[in-house]
Amino acid sequence: MITLRNFNEGDLEFLMSHYKSGMTTHETAALLAEWNQKSFRGTYFEMFAIIHNAIPTGWISLFAHDKTTISAGMEVIESARGNGLATAALVQALDYAKHLGYTTAVAQIRKNNTASLRLHEKCGFIITGECLTSKGSAAFLLQRKL
């Protein structure tokens, strides 16, 4: 149904119109080069395009918290939502993380983000606690074994 792949130069227009509108081609290319280093502040980070019917429909990233724990963040563009793409992308990304040796996935989801909560619960996450986000929003902490 979908494939995940690293973004490439051919995706610049998609990224400029959907990821961070207002970025120049040069700024977007620099961001793409940074993503393809697969590291952020000295830890594993990888950004993938969610490809459906041969076109990008969103993105999902993996970020390592430590040697065994990873989190995934994603967005599917509005016109492609409601087709199970987020579920398929999360399942594939977590399988890839398991292949890399990670054993636990965690998530922090705002309490009012019911779609993301349903998605994560559908993919086997359980609520393990509550917190406030860096912006002061109430959120759930979720976890699952890989």
In this predicted structure, the answer to whether residue 21 has a pLDDT above a threshold of 90 is: no
Domain ranges of the chain: 3-145
d(CA 94, CA 140): 19
| Structural Rg of the chain based on CA atoms | 15
Neighbours of 36 (CB within 10 A): 13
Share of the chain above pLDDT 70, in %: 100
Which residues neighbour 63 within 8 Å (Cβ) at sequence distance 6 or greater?
40, 43, 44, 45, 70, 71, 72, 73
Kindly report the average pLDDT of the chain as a whole number: 96
Work out the pLDDT band at 132, boundaries 50, 70, 90: very high
Q: What is the pLDDT of residue 109?
A: 97
In this predicted structure, the answer to whether residue 40 has a pLDDT above a threshold of 90 is: no
Q: Where are the beta strands (DSSP E) in the chain?
A: 3-6, 39-40, 43-52, 55-64, 69-76, 104-110, 126-132, 138-145
CATH code linked to domain 3-145: 3.40.630.30
Higher-confidence residue: 6 or 20?
6
Token pair of 110 as six digits: 């705002």
